[in-house]
Amino acid sequence: MFQRILVANRGEIALRVIRACKELGVEAVAVYSQADRDAPYLELADRAICIGKAASADSYLNIPRLIAAAEVADVQAIHPGYGFLSENPQFAEICRSCNFEFIGPPHEAIRKMGLKTEAKVIAAQAKVASVPGSDGAVNSEAEAIRIAKSIGFPVLIKAAAGGGGKGMRVCRDEASLPSSIQAARNEAEAAFKNPSIYLEKYIDRPRHVEVQVLADHHGNVVHCWDRDCSLQRRHQKLVEEASASLPIEVRRKLGEAAVRLAKTVGYTNAGTCEFLVDAEDNFYFIEVNARIQVEHPVSEEITGIDLVKQQIRIAAGEPLPFTQDDVKSEGHAIEVRINSEDPEHGFRPSAGRITDLRVPGGPGVRWDSHARAGYSVPPNYDSLVGKLIVHAPSRPEAIARMRRALDELVIEGIKTTIPLHKAIFRHKDFIDGNVDTTWVERVLMPPKAG
């Protein structure tokens, strides 16, 4: 096992990795920007190193500064967390070339999965169905029109280098296809420095279901079952659940598909295969997330596996200590993301000082947060202040437990998404499981008229 790890991230996930290190007997070295100099997660690390100014480009996205911190602290491995550099193949490659183990997949796998057109080729090799669409990038208007006519309108134009919903455009007819493609190319070039686009059949009101996988360096790949992450607003997830409440045969097939995909691309460490699921429970692969995700705790709760500890063990060369048959899905877990945003005012970030914080407890309740009373949420980064996770024997009991826990949770001094979550957990559609990726914006918070 490693003696010491650099945690190349901040906030909630930095604390999550520090906690895993402590339980493994590994020293955790935290990094921080000037905006985070008073952040509570630093006190829990064995050492903390300032890596630069508040701007991400000068700190958490700055590869030379992170490598310098790793050298100064004499660590053996680097955990990138989520966001920031976690899916940057160049960072993974540089870590390894500087003799630091990157706690994540091989840079080749990150690079391939970063190109969504390449990921779909790998899915086809693995005999995993993806959404019908173009074979790779679309290079001309004529080609786009031919493909759109063969799959049928509406089509979705996606950026090859995209993901997470950025740079997507729905196109409903042939007449608007050329201008939609041009607009999508411009967005893709601006956001990803890559104008390449591809086409997919637009799936109406899909559910977003993803499968957690773990793969070691000895050829063992297991899935840790499925999560439903359909509840989102403007591509920001709000609520995640495990399981995705699909029939067991569908869940098995999803898991097996994710394992085939991971094996085909030579994946190691933790990752997620994302699928869209239609009203008939048909599933279509869309992309791979080559990192630990914000919503990983719900999979931990139903399987009893500490995914972050497994990431570290895998990177240290240990074989997975269990087989697929050992990974059981028990009960139902739900996570809500508590963001410092004002739902009453278009979810604008609401940075500021938390004056009071009272966290829920009791059976089946987990609170993953770096925040505490007196902590000031800096305006420079994402607005996640904590994740409230519940686990119970069934989905109705998990919903009741989440309602109870949300009523106990008090955060004062900043605006948060707590009132929105309370409304979701009282809504009949959510309780009945009648939600999809369009539900929040279509039903719960439709745009105001005028």
CB 1 within 8 A of CB 26: yes
Is residue 232 within the footprint of ligand MV4 (CB under 6 A)? yes
Compare residues 232 and 299 and give the one whose CB is closer to ligand MV4. 232
Residue 437 CB, nearest distance to ligand MV4 (Å)?
4
Is residue 222 within the footprint of ligand MV4 (CB under 6 A)? no
CB 285 within 8 A of CB 239: no
CB 302 within 8 A of CB 308: no
Residue 116 CB, nearest distance to ligand MV4 (Å)?
9
Bridge partner residues of 163 (DSSP): 166
CA distances from residue 382 to 83, 340, 363, 386, 416 in whole angstroms, order as listed:
9, 9, 30, 11, 13
* Number of CB atoms found within 10 A of residue 171's CB: 23
- Residues 6 or more apart whose CB falls under 8 angstroms from that of 133 comprise 120, 147, 151, 155, 198, 199, 200, 201
CA 191/CA 38 separation, integer angstroms: 32
Compare residues 154 and 352 and give the one whose CB is closer to ligand MV4. 154
Is residue 130 within the footprint of ligand MV4 (CB under 6 A)? no
CA 116/CA 377 separation, integer angstroms: 34
Which one, of 360, 436, 363, lies nearest residue 398 by Cα? 363
How is residue 94 written in tokens? 């540089």
Binding part of the chain for ligand MV4, among 60-68, 143-151, 202-210, 366-374 by CB under 6 A, reads 202-210
CA 259/CA 384 separation, integer angstroms: 30
User: Which one of 83, 206, 255, 364 is in contact with ligand MV4 (CB under 6 A)?
Assistant: 206
CA 240/CA 18 separation, integer angstroms: 23
Is residue 200 within the footprint of ligand MV4 (CB under 6 A)? yes
User: Which one of 131, 161, 214, 312 is in contact with ligand MV4 (CB under 6 A)?
Assistant: 131
Residue 133 CB, nearest distance to ligand MV4 (Å)?
7
Is residue 164 within the footprint of ligand MV4 (CB under 6 A)? yes
Compare residues 169 and 251 and give the one whose CB is closer to ligand MV4. 169
CA distances from residue 350 to 9, 139, 153 in whole angstroms, order as listed:
21, 43, 40
Number of residues that bind ligand MV4 (CB under 6 A): 18
Single-letter amino acid, residue 73: A
The CA-CA-CA angle for residues 164, 169, 171, to 5°, reads 145
Our answer to whether residue 291 is catalytic in this structure is: yes
Is residue 238 within the footprint of ligand MV4 (CB under 6 A)? no
Compare residues 42 and 209 and give the one whose CB is closer to ligand MV4. 209
CA 169/CA 203 separation, integer angstroms: 13
CA 268/CA 217 separation, integer angstroms: 6
Is residue 437 within the footprint of ligand MV4 (CB under 6 A)? yes
Is residue 383 within the footprint of ligand MV4 (CB under 6 A)? no
Residues 263-292 that bind ligand MV4 (CB under 6 A): 274, 276, 286-287
Is residue 87 within the footprint of ligand MV4 (CB under 6 A)? no
Compare residues 31 and 156 and give the one whose CB is closer to ligand MV4. 156
CA distances from residue 306 to 69, 301, 302, 373 in whole angstroms, order as listed:
27, 9, 11, 28
Considering 185, 291, 313, 401, which one is annotated as catalytic? Answer: 291
User: Which one of 202, 225, 347, 381 is in contact with ligand MV4 (CB under 6 A)?
Assistant: 202
Compare residues 232 and 293 and give the one whose CB is closer to ligand MV4. 232
User: Which one of 78, 184, 203, 418 is in contact with ligand MV4 (CB under 6 A)?
Assistant: 203
Is residue 188 within the footprint of ligand MV4 (CB under 6 A)? no
User: Which one of 65, 79, 208, 332 is in contact with ligand MV4 (CB under 6 A)?
Assistant: 208
Is residue 293 within the footprint of ligand MV4 (CB under 6 A)? no
So which residues are the catalytic ones? 291
What are the residues binding ligand MV4 (CB under 6 A)? 131, 156, 163-165, 200-203, 206, 208, 232, 235, 274, 276, 286-287, 437
